[in-house]
Structure 1
Amino acid sequence: MTEPTQLPGRDWLAAELADAMDEEYELELEDSTLSLEISKIYKRSHPDTIDRATYFHALMHLQSELIKLQDWVQNTGEKVVVLFEGRDSAGKGGVIKRITQRLNPRVVRTVALPAPSDREKSQWYFQRYVPHLPAGGEIVLFDRSWYNRAGVERVMGFASDDQVEEFFNDVPEFERMLVRSGIRVVKYWFSITDEEQQMRFLMRIHDPMKQWKLSPMDLQSRVRWEQYTKAKEEMMDRTNIPEAPWYIVEGNDKKRARLNCIAHLLSLIPYQPVEHDEVTLPDRVFNPDYERAVLPPELYVPSKY
């Protein structure tokens, strides 16, 4: 039997690095299907964005630190919750993708809850979020969170004034309870300008791969821009507590927003490298009497590419 071909150390590392960069480049190509005119306008409005090589290098360094953070959280039994809030199209999902891209989904998971059911509407407001909170050794990223009540529910009239006021009275103590229980709570608000959101919405409208991201609620957020602004300002004023402060991420430049947010998150948590036992690949056991069965061809996926 032929032994598998092994690349020299440097060649193997270069191949792995190239594969990782290809993976990230695939994500960056999400803008490639835009109408050419809108793409040109967008690039003109972001002339000083980070070049791709610099961005990839910084991102991969930060992702290697995220792996250390993950190991530390798992090893120490820490519990971390990170909330991602902001206007529609502000870039929350892009940052979450880059955070989770190389991490273990059993340790780091994303929660993006749909609209509440009739049963959930009758519950204590925070009740449907509580089951998703982390156990020891877990990090949970909320792609929108209980702050829906202070934002979309309030602006769109899905919550009454009394419900909103009750939320503002309750949420500081709810988050203090989480912190007292040993959960680290981090809250990010992704901020973009009116003009930037308009451009990103136009990009989604003209990109068939992104049209699914536009909901009637998203379109209404354009109409009610000022109402959302007022709601955000009151939310920040009434829920920015020492135990769980808000951090604002400037999001007009997507690449900088991703790098800045990840670097800041890493700076908030006192993680340390975790000692690991050295891993050695055991020798393959060869049985001279074993003969691999020939499987019927219809079981194989056709090689179309």
Structure 2
Amino acid sequence: MANNEESRGLKSLLDWFANRRKSGQISIEPQEREIADGLWHKCPKCAVLSYTKDLKANQMVCNECGHHNRVDSDERIRQLIDPNTWTPMDENLRPNDPLGFRDRKAYADRLRDMQEKTGLTEAVKTGLGKIDGLPVALAVMDFRFIGASMGSVVGEKLTRLIEQATQRRYPVVIVCTSGGARMQEGMLSLMQMAKISGALQCHQDAKLLYIPVLTNPTTGGVTASFAMLGDIIIAEPKATIGFAGRRVIEQTLREKLPEDFQTAEDLLTHGFVDEIIPRTLLKKSLAQLIALHQPLTHTINEEVVVWEKTKNLSPTLVD
């Protein structure tokens, strides 16, 4: 008797839901939880949801698994450069389309769309600033702009930065990320490898410091040129670093590559990288390396400066 009553009760409940669905009062479509845009961030590695404000406070490094999320050039500059010391260079340099290149889309249209979408003029930002009070010439590549591919303007901006650093006797730090040379510019893109490398050779001939920081991903012509020419080469944890892609190599060799192939850890093991430094420690580590390589005397605006051997290595003008 009790079972019959339960069955009738369940049927009545199901009929009630069915009637409500028919009248449109209950939707059977799956509904996503409403989350304010940008309020939460889902880690692509461990899938943990993090409060974006907390994630930014940790420099976009996942608190759960340590995954280094990609950051844009503006955020990277804020992370590394002392407040109110950044002076951008060559912001008005813009790429053009000398070859009239077109694939699925005209290159000129692609450039315009990227500039509107990202607010950038090109895939790299360059400028002068200070890291813990120490002068530095910094370049930061931005993967949002056509995969941070290296075109003629990227090469020109990097070359001008290095030449300015050599003239001022500043160390150079380049935060690298790239998919390689920009195919839409053909040979004009490839020649940037030699141009930047030549400028770096002059910088190093002057006994000045150059530190590339390899982030995820750093590949192609960037890896084959200035990314691997540093006096001290730093990489972020788990960054993909290589020249040709993994699938291309496997198809060429007809072999399965190890899981850690082309990772920062693999390159460290084989001597291609000097140190793997988490992003949260990068500014402090760069400051220590720059301080270690500072000359005992330095010239600023034709005045001799002596670097005091203190914790902050504060410059003092010679009387």
Note whether the superposition's TM-score is higher than 0.5. no
Which of the two has greater helix per residue? 1
Greater relative CO, 1 or 2 (CA 8 Å, sep 6+): 1
Name the larger-Rg structure: 2
Calculate the TM-score normalised by the size of structure 1.
0.36
Which of the two has greater strand per residue? 2
